[in-house]
Structure 1
């Protein structure tokens, strides 16, 4: 009986030990599915630094003033008085059309006006005489009325002839093309002998524009070269970018920016936001953007109209702020949390943030300088050659890499994913 009872007790102890060992091995090899396995866990101290939030966009170098000048009349070009590269002043003559017909029309209109004025003077004299010697006879009264009526008719003719003279003079003026503003001639889209003007078509352009500047020309502020002569202010080049509507709300005039020209990628140029368009522009796929104009603090000598560039606008900045890497923060809705290592344990804290960039976040509440925030990624459990998780054997790797050892300390030989035998295991160094 004693031997049987002793055997029963020994067997019971062995069963309990085996069950405990099996449960421990199960928990080690197959942890709960709702627990992530941290890998490459490391911490970083909360530090003081500068956080800069920027918005970026593609851009183009443009002139602050570009005008296309074309004749307001149609005709044959007889003179082009400028060439590409010439600097011109507002009102300076640029080109001329054949004006022979316009001169004949003006001469005829002036002759008609002179004759009408002479006739009016005679009628006025006759009317004055009739009024000075009135008669009571019906014939005398009719004579006065006729004289006054003749004066009215001739006055109307004079007024009409004056309009004709003004029109003929304007037509003559329209055969001369003048500069709508100061600038440099950057394109000439016609030659002597070619038809040009408002109804000529072809390279002469349409002649229409957003305003008239000087006699004989119509001009519009535009970047297109549709007129006969294009004038650009090359001394006032600026940068134009289109920002997404989600970004433009952060941008305002006076903010600092950096412009990087594609032709000078290693020489970013400091700039400032000059203006933000109040109306939107619908791009492809109904994407809404807003135009932003930037001015360079000092334009490089090689700057050219039409060059491509990229802009980065500083919309907010925090100096001497508590900062952490963006990767250390988790966001759910409006709530932000950070895992902080306290006495070897990871503790979750709620934080409030300020300026945020792609890589850094300003912490305004919830952390102190020097706190160790946890940077970690999670991966699903992996098996090694011995059916164990990543790392060495029972005595090795742990959460570390190829050398084993806790959170990255030294240790035995087991590799990070080989499941090898491993050594005795290292510490919990970071």
Structure 2
């Protein structure tokens, strides 16, 4: 066959490129097989040694600081502010007067309640005294055994008793009076026959009537009960009025530092501390540890606590009394020891809805000097939920499986390996406690983290490098793909060259 000059040149070029391509492929195979393959085969086995130490299992959460003695101070009786005796930053003691409101209306209520109590006291005394009635009653007549009679005459006889019962001696009409020094010769001194009449029987025998005075008192029980009820009501009203009067003075309920004041003299405040010109900060609706709000807020860093949120899985591991470490987010070098006080059985408000993860709040008590801390500082909490001291341990990655029973590959000094069962205890963050199955000093094989051929992604670098160019039968020029750096780049370059040659020879 006769070969034209143009075609002869194309054949020569293609032949040269084909030889170059085959050489590059052979070189790549040789390098990969002798280099990486051999290196992978001879790679040393990674092991971990069983040692003794402390294994800690912890769970973490985030929260904010708050003092249990932080308190909002509010008036119990509203009114117009007449005095505000403190300012932000002042240190106050329990019982100290902070502010006052006008007492006019409250004092009037006390006076009215006192007057009502006085009236009720008098009414009760009258009801208990009852109504007294006095009556005069005649006693029955009693018989009298003696009565006045006339005397009889006779020798040596004595005179009869008079009407009054006394003994009397009456001279006889036919006998003169006895002579004596005191005798009277006047004839008119003689008693006439008519003068000897006796006292009428009706007057001398019937005694005078006797009378007695009877006094009775009647008490109405219903009236007494009503008066007692009115007295009790009056006493309650007076106590309430006195409390309202006392409520016009606002005093500190705890020792602390004034954090905020929500009013000034002349403002009108209510019993909840709201002011007509300014209002106290609103409480947060997302957490129980938000700062309190009131007319005056007192804060005290003594006994500072932190309320942190934990995932639902971690919250199940929390128990009262567990030790913890609190780190301030603003000062990572400031760490405080703490202990769990309580774990809420209810989820945090707002969690659990939609795709949000459920969280539960736990309150922890900080120990040490917390005098420089402030309410509201954010912190990270790490709680120790399990601890094993002086225990055998090794990295968690050296064991396979889950639960209390797992497996490990022990590497013996002669290089041989053995698969054993390992019982584990406390599972820490990076290590696990070995209860049985391994001894101190044993070497355990770690799982390999590289690919089967020695490369992390399991493929050769640049193997998918350049692709050959496409020839154009119309005589166009093909373009070679750019090879990735490395051996694949060389292969790609060769492929690109082949495409160029094919393009050139395709047209007629």
The TM-score normalised by the length of structure 2 is: 0.57
Root-mean-square deviation over aligned CA pairs: 3.8
Unaligned runs of 5+ in 1: 1-24, 30-35, 137-142, 207-220, 388-416, 420-430
- Provide closer, same or farther for how the CA distance between residues 38 and 319 of structure 1 changes in structure 2, counting only shifts above 3 A: farther
| Structure 1 position 113, deviation (Å) | 3.4
Match among 328, 352, 356 for residue 427 of structure 2: 356
2:240 is the counterpart of 1:167: yes
Paired position in structure 1 for 2:400: 330
Q: Distance in 2 between matches of 1:301 and 1:170?
A: 36
Match among 102, 105, 112 for residue 106 of structure 2: 102
- Provide closer, same or farther for how the CA distance between residues 147 and 265 of structure 1 changes in structure 2, counting only shifts above 3 A: closer
Q: Deviations over 1:87-138 (max 9, x none)?
A: 334333322111111212222332343345445556666x3433xx2589xx
SS in 2 for 1:64: coil
2:343 is the counterpart of 1:272: no
Unaligned runs of 5+ in 2: 1-28, 34-39, 138-215, 282-287, 464-485, 489-508
Match among 89, 92, 109 for residue 88 of structure 1: 92
SS in 1 for 2:411: strand
Paired position in structure 2 for 1:404: none
| Structure 1 position 265, deviation (Å) | 0.8
Contact in 2 for aligned 1:75/1:200 (Cα 8 Å): no
Q: Deviations over 1:365-391 (max 9, x none)?
A: 11222222112225255565999xxxx
Match among 365, 384, 389 for residue 314 of structure 1: 384
Contact in 2 for aligned 1:245/1:290 (Cα 8 Å): yes
Match among 34, 49, 52 for residue 48 of structure 1: 52
Paired position in structure 2 for 1:33: none
Please show how residues 226-375 of structure 1 align to structure 2 within 5 Å. Answer: 226-269=293-336, 271-286=337-352, 287-299=357-369, 302-332=372-402, 335-342=405-412, 343-375=414-446
Q: Distance in 1 between matches of 2:445 and 2:59?
A: 28
SS in 1 for 2:260: strand
Paired position in structure 1 for 2:68: 64
Q: Deviations over 1:206-263 (max 9, x none)?
A: 9xxxxxxxxxxxxxx9843421111223222122222223223333333332221122
Q: Distance in 2 between matches of 1:69 and 1:239?
A: 22
| Structure 1 position 267, deviation (Å) | 3.6
Q: Distance in 1 between matches of 2:280 and 2:332?
A: 37
Q: Distance in 1 between matches of 2:50 and 2:304?
A: 44
Q: Distance in 1 between matches of 2:459 and 2:258?
A: 74
Contact in 1 for aligned 2:262/2:294 (Cα 8 Å): yes
Q: Distance in 1 between matches of 2:389 and 2:89?
A: 48
Q: Distance in 2 between matches of 1:344 and 1:223?
A: 61
SS in 2 for 1:106: helix
Please show how residues 32-47 of structure 1 align to structure 2 within 5 Å. Answer: 41-47=45-51
Mean Cα deviation higher: 147-156 or 52-61: 147-156
* Rg larger for: 2
Count, aligned residues = 334
- Structure 1: 4+ residue segments shifted above 6 A: 36-40, 143-152
Paired position in structure 2 for 1:379: 451
SS in 2 for 1:330: coil
Contact in 2 for aligned 1:67/1:223 (Cα 8 Å): no
Contact in 2 for aligned 1:196/1:204 (Cα 8 Å): no
